[in-house]
Amino acid sequence: MKYILYVTFDNQEDVKTILHDVFESGHNGTVLQSTSVRHLLDDDEISSDDPMFIGLRHLNAGELVNSCFAYFILDEKGLNEVRDLIRRETQNFTTVKGGMYYIEINNYEGSI
């Protein structure tokens, strides 16, 4: 059985460290830079030059802006490992704002 884990973080210095630690623990995912509706309406300078999708292994090359949204396709063991790592490093989202949820994938095909 595979699961897709969705995580959203407000951008803080710790987010890059958390995502790096997820990668170093043997898991990969995709990071999408995002912005809240409030920031979108308040910000006059949204740059179309910023990359929208970043693989975890390429994270050192880019900077996160405003907030980010990451997703991971994991088996049950990986799901529990990544969730526990994120809970621990965000102190249950008290030191780093954000949230996460997962959905069971019923029809997954692929090699990851």
Residue 55 has pLDDT above 70, yes or no: no
Does any domain span residue 111?
A: no
- The answer to whether the CB of 15 falls within 8 A of the CB of 68 is yes
| 98 in any annotated domain | yes
Rounded to the nearest integer, the mean pLDDT of the chain is 80
pLDDT in tens, 43-54: 555 555 544 444
Q: How confident is the model at residue 110 (pLDDT cuts 50, 70, 90)?
A: confident
**Considering Cα of 81, then 85, then 88, then 94, what sign does the dihedral take?**
negative
Q: Please report which confidence band the pLDDT of residue 36 belongs to, taking 50, 70 and 90 as the band edges.
A: low
Q: Say which CATH number the domain at 61 has.
A: 3.30.70.120
Q: Which tokens hold the place of 41?
A: 């309406």
**pLDDT tens by residue, 9-33:** 986 778 889 999 999 999 999 988 7
Number of domains present in the structure of the chain: 1
Share above pLDDT 90 across residues of the chain, in percent, rounded to a whole number = 51
Is residue 112 a part of any domain in this protein? Answer: no
| CB of 3 closer than 8 Å to CB of 102 | yes
Domain coverage including residue 24: 2-105
Is the residue at 110 inside a domain? no
Cα gap 80→46, rounded to integer Å: 36
